[in-house]
């Protein structure tokens, strides 16, 4: 069997990255002195008006992706609403910000009340738990743009951070340690590859039969394992925001550990991750096995069990780890030139992924 | 020929409105004391952090809709980027706010570089002209969710307004006048009905032939008439923000004059619009004629030549009209119970549309 890859499922990450780099140069023409950081971090950072530079607003826009197609096949959408809010809050958190408000965008060829109400219930629950107000949204019926019987859900979250507590990785120095916090599943990334591997093609009866399978290593059906809502790290890390020893944070989304950590590593530093320091959760092994996917491709596409990363002084990281009672020291920062991130996932010399 | 209606094209506005009302009650469970106004205005209004109540942030999320399908058929996308930014800025303006920053969400089954770069060029140009920073975005490849060879473009804009200058219609009183400002085309609403009327089915060669037609009343092809970028009213009205005589503003989008003005009319007031006070632009007459669409349906779906509405004291409106050198007094405010808006579009008794 030829190994599955993300590009073969119709999602070409490398090409997407080169296009994004080119359009970034165009977009930066709109930057004023109120834009406090360049593009590429987990949120856009903007001087909060009327605060004389004391506060910054952080904003992120994102969508849930093809996890929605699994939710369609299983007929359960509340978790998708939670996914979107938690994903957004994690992006803000990675910049040191806490959420103020959220707006959602729902679009489909045709409005399905039940689906929309489940999504809204999920978003409402997640927002309320985080103290984030859902202040607006748009519901669009766009026949001809969307495939039948599905939808897309995107959202924009705006948060706030004292300007001096903005976390952008610039304070990362050699000697810092990397704490990896456990994910609770795929979160919201890699579903096009996961679906291809599990042979979820969109044919309702066949998809449902596959999703009902209970893997030998679990007591839950595949559907539930795939649809666990994206974990939110804000409750865990809220108190740590503003700590002097906290130098950088990364939300592990599309692009995996390597590409997401690379977004915040300053010149002269390299983050070395050793993937043998934690156990890869079974769901990833199941997806890899069924699709005969290369391990390097797995680490490029999925979070592989680490949903959020905190980088900081050794003492701070040790203290944080003991206070949280979870997470693993998965790597360290060394003085080196490019690549900014090196991930070793096996004993052999070739078992290395770089940014 | 049976007259075309929006519901027949697959977009059911009445049903959508009832669903939206129901979900609004759920969403309001997330509201904190920082949310300064209820849902339903043109933007969500939130107390700006760190300003002791002096400033408010206003946020809106929206998309361009099926105008994108016309852009696909004609192969011109820069205007769609402009559409989205101008639409958003008009929504903020209707609350009295000026833009701070913008984030966009682009999604498609497959990334088309050329299309994306044209959209970004349009958004960048429009943002720069308005002094609005484009601080982030998401580009999603979602095979299975989007129809082939098309895309969706949504965006979130955040602006600011001094709290005491928030415009929400609550100061509207009987005796106020209604100034209608000219649109330059369909803006971004009603394209599903317009496409059905013009028989644009998505078949590339046939669509192109139709879009190349030059109507007798114009010297430009239908494509150009349909794709004129949404007009932005911020440059016109920036100076008027904060005027004491300015009581309400409405951006005329989906739902037309009646439903959009109804969003801001306080209890005890009724806005009476007389559509015989301005000339309906030819493009709307062309769409109506080709689809044999009822006039009431036309006013329900399209802006019909009025893209933005300002309501205020008679002196203020007269002064504004003379300063702008454009616009028509299209109506007045009277003391009355529901309906909040009545639009008369013909001499007969039945030629009336109400909210």
CA A31, A32, A35, A39: dihedral to nearest 10 degrees? Answer: 10
> Where do the domains of chain A lie, and which CATH numbers do they carry?
7-165 (3.30.1330.10), 177-354 (3.90.650.10)
**B contacts of A16 (beta carbons < 8 Å):** 111, 139, 141
From first to last of the 355 residues of chain B, give the pLDDT tens digit: 567 777 777 667 677 777 778 889 999 999 999 999 999 999 999 999 999 999 999 999 999 999 999 999 999 999 999 999 999 999 999 999 999 999 999 999 998 999 999 999 999 999 999 999 999 999 999 989 999 999 999 999 999 999 999 999 999 999 999 999 999 999 999 999 999 999 999 999 999 999 999 999 999 999 999 999 999 999 999 999 999 999 999 999 999 999 999 999 999 999 999 999 999 999 999 999 999 999 999 999 999 999 999 999 999 999 999 999 999 999 999 999 999 999 999 888 889 999 9
At a CB cut-off of 8 Å and minimum separation 6, what does A118 contact?
A76, A77, A78, A80, A81
Contact A145 B69 (CB under 8 A): yes
Minimum-distance CB partner of B136 among A39, A55, A101: A39
**A contacts of B190 (beta carbons < 8 Å):** none
Residue B275 has phi, psi (to 5 degrees) of -75, 0
pLDDT at A132 over 90: yes
Task: Give Cα B153 to chain centroid, integer Å.
Answer: 15
At a CB cut-off of 8 Å and minimum separation 6, what does B241 contact?
B93, B96, B98, B161, B165, B167
A/B interface, count of CB pairs below 8 Å: 270
pLDDT at A1 over 70: no
CA distance A353 to chain B (A): 23
Contact A136 B60 (CB under 8 A): yes
State pTM to two decimals. Answer: 0.96
3-state DSSP assignment of residue B162? strand
- What residue of A is the nearest CA neighbor of B16? A111
Question: How does residue A349 score in pLDDT terms, banded at 50, 70 and 90?
Answer: confident
Minimum-distance CB partner of A32 among B123, B131, B155: B131
Spatial separation of the C-alpha atoms in residues A342 and B208, rounded to whole Å: 51
Minimum-distance CB partner of B49 among A27, A100, A113: A100
Contact B145 A101 (CB under 8 A): no
Contact A49 B55 (CB under 8 A): yes
Spatial separation of the C-alpha atoms in residues B243 and B114, rounded to whole Å: 44
**B contacts of A158 (beta carbons < 8 Å):** 57, 59, 158
At a CB cut-off of 8 Å and minimum separation 6, what does A116 contact?
A106, A139, B19, B23
Contact A59 B136 (CB under 8 A): yes
**A contacts of B50 (beta carbons < 8 Å):** 48, 50-51, 54-55, 160
**B contacts of A103 (beta carbons < 8 Å):** 44, 59-61, 156
Contact B120 A16 (CB under 8 A): no
Give the strand pairing for B269-274 and B151-162. unpaired
Q: Tokens 């998708």 — which residue? A: A80
**A contacts of B150 (beta carbons < 8 Å):** 144-145
Mean pLDDT of the residues in chain A: 95
Task: Output the 3-class SS for A231-249.
Answer: CCCHHHHHHHCCCCCEEEE
Provide the pLDDT for residue A2.
Answer: 65
CA distance B150 to chain A (A): 6
CA-to-CA dists, residue A337 to A42, A227, A249, A262, A330, angstroms: 23, 39, 20, 12, 20
For the ranges A85-99, A134-148, B7-21, the one whose mean pLDDT is highest:
A85-99
């Amino acid at each position: 069997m030829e190994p599955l890859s993300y590009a073969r499922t119709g999602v070409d990450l490398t090409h997407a990255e080169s296009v994004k780099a080119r359009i970034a140069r165009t977009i930066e023409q709109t930057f004023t002195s109120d834009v406090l950081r360049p593009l590429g971090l987990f949120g856009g950072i903007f001087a909060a008006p009327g605060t004389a530079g004391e506060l910054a607003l952080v904003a992120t826009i994102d969508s849930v992706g093809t996890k929605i197609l699994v939710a369609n096949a299983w007929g359960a959408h509340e978790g998708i609403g939670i996914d979107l809010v938690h994903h957004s809050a994690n992006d803000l958190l990675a910049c040191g910000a806490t959420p103020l408000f959220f707006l959602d965008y729902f679009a489909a060829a045709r409005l399905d009340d039940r689906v929309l109400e489940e999504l809204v219930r999920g978003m409402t629950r997640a927002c309320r738990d985080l103290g984030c107000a859902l202040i607006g949204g748009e519901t669009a019926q766009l026949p001809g743009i969307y495939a039948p019987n599905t939808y897309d859900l995107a959202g924009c979250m705006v948060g706030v951070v004292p300007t001096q507590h903005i976390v952008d990785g610039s304070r990362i120095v050699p000697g810092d340690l990397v704490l990896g916090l456990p994910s609770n599943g795929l979160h919201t990334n890699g579903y096009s590859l996961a679906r291809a591997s599990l042979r979820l093609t969109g044919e309702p009866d066949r998809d449902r039969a596959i999703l009902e399978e209970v893997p030998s290593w679990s007591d839950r059906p595949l559907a539930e394992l795939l649809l666990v809502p994206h974990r939110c790290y804000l409750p865990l890390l809220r108190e740590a925001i503003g700590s002097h020893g906290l130098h950088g944070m990364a939300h592990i989304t599309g692009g995996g550990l390597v590409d997401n950590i690379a977004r915040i590593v300053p010149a002269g530093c390299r983050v070395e991750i050793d993937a043998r320091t934690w156990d890869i959760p079974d769901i990833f092994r199941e997806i890899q096995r069924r699709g005969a996917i290369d391990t390097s491709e797995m680490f490029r596409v999925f979070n592989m069990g680490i949903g959020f990363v905190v980088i900081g002084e050794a003492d701070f990281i040790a203290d944080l780890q003991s206070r949280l009672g979870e997470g693993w020291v998965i790597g360290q920062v060394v003085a080196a030139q490019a690549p900014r991130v090196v991930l070793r996932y096996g004993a052999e010399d070739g078992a290395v992924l770089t940014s």
